[in-house]
Amino acid sequence: MTSTILTTNRLWAYLQLMRPANIVTAWADILAGVAASGFLTIFYEEIKQGLLLSNFLPLGYLLIATSCLYSGGVVLNDAFDASLDALERPERPIPSGRASRQGAFIIGSFLLCLGIVFATLVSSLSAILAASIALFAVLYDGFGKHHPFWGPLNMGVCRGGNLLLGISIVPVMVSKYWFLALIPIIYIAAITNLSRGEVKGGNNFNSVVSLILFSVVFGAIFGLGLVNNYDLLPVLPFALFLAIRVFVPIITVLREPSPTNIASAVRAGVLSMIVLNATLSTGFAGLLYGLLVLTLLPISRKLAKAFAVT
């Protein structure tokens, strides 16, 4: 009985390391990329021919791939940070002894490799993108996170690559819409920059930089109205919702850059990746598809009550 409880607690600890709430936000990256790729039009035509299952598989493979890539990256992040977390966040799974650092390195590495394998089932380009995401994740975990400029950019590249991974469901479209990756790159760079004060408190300089970066993201969202196949009108309510979720917390941080306020702003920003992707999805695939992506938000928020986001 005791051994069963210990095993269950250890499994729960490794599950905590995987940040389940954040994995759902990675699904939204894929769905937004799929919307931009035009795959849904092809998918609809194939459904009429009775080929639903065979055409659904690539999307399933990409969702599994991104789940493995994201969870592998964050597990390795905690493995690399074990010594620092022992001082600053001793309650986390590895410092508390509920999970081992060696086990985290093994599981994280396995998940990254598994993510690449599932991406390979879609296309060679998907495999290359997945391998690139894995590489940048390891670079961030081991080296990049501590650099004031390259750290946020490194993390942003991982999420931008994830959006391109979704677009790669129709490989030829990656070269057409590669620039879409710049939006999550800037967005995540803003969050990563802001998160630097999550433990000891921040300063207004970091907050202002993040505010400017978020503003650039909104400029890009509206700038997409100049792109063919992107309908700006239905995007507006999504953009408003995103603005409320992002700007209200960061204004609070500007007024009082305490660790609690910064953690709340970072948490809101991470979960709002779903809203950002729903916004992009709506422009490319319509209101109903955007709402479908947005349904991931309550799922992620529910998981965030049980599992840490940062």
Look at residue 222 and tell me whether its pLDDT is greater than 90. Answer: yes
Residue with the bigger pLDDT between 212 and 203: it is: 212
Share of the chain above pLDDT 90, in %: 76
Residue with the bigger pLDDT between 227 and 126: it is: 126
Give a yes or no: residue 4 inside a domain: no
pLDDT tens profile 234-243:
999 999 999 9
Q: How far is residue 214's CA from residue 220's CA, in Å, rounded to a whole number? A: 10
pLDDT of residue 294: 98
Q: How far is residue 45's CA from residue 168's CA, in Å, rounded to a whole number? A: 19
The pLDDT-based confidence of 53 (bands split at 50, 70, 90) is low
Q: What is the mean pLDDT of residues 114-126?
A: 98
Look at residue 191 and tell me whether its pLDDT is greater than 80. Answer: yes
> Which residues have CB under 8 Å from 143's CB, separation 6+?
none
Give a yes or no: residue 2 inside a domain: no
pLDDT tens profile 61-107:
999 999 999 999 999 999 999 998 999 889 999 999 999 999 999 99
Q: What is the mean pLDDT of residues 165-189?
A: 97
pLDDT of residue 69: 99
Give a yes or no: residue 254 inside a domain: yes
The pLDDT-based confidence of 196 (bands split at 50, 70, 90) is confident
Q: What is the 3-state secondary structure (H, E, C) of 169-181?
A: CCHHHHHHHHHHH
Q: Work out whether the CA dihedral 38, 113, 148, 270 comes out positive or negative.
A: positive
pLDDT of residue 201: 65
> Which residues have CB under 8 Å from 122's CB, separation 6+?
58, 61, 62, 65, 168, 169
Total number of domains in the chain: 1
Whichever domain contains 137, its CATH number is 1.10.357.140
Give a yes or no: residue 70 inside a domain: yes
Average pLDDT score, the chain:
92
pLDDT of residue 243: 98
CA-nearest of 291, 309, 287, 290 to 300 is 309
- pTM over 0.95? The answer is no
Q: Where are the alpha helices (DSSP H) in the chain?
A: 2-17, 20-37, 39-48, 52-80, 82-88, 101-120, 124-142, 150-167, 174-177, 182-194, 204-223, 235-255, 259-271, 273-285, 287-294, 296-306
Q: What DSSP string runs through 1-53? A: -HHHHHHHHHHHHHHHHT-HHHHHHHHHHHHHHHHHHTHHHHHHHHHHTT-HH
Q: How far is residue 262's CA from residue 272's CA, in Å, rounded to a whole number? A: 15
pLDDT tens profile 273-306:
999 999 999 999 999 999 999 999 999 999 999 8
Which domain range does residue 242 map to? 14-306
pLDDT of residue 198: 67
pLDDT of residue 88: 86
Give a yes or no: residue 3 inside a domain: no
Give a yes or no: residue 8 inside a domain: no
Residue with the bigger pLDDT between 248 and 198: it is: 248
Look at residue 202 and tell me whether its pLDDT is greater than 70. Answer: no
Give a yes or no: residue 180 inside a domain: yes
Give a yes or no: residue 27 inside a domain: yes
Q: How far is residue 262's CA from residue 34's CA, in Å, rounded to a whole number? A: 32
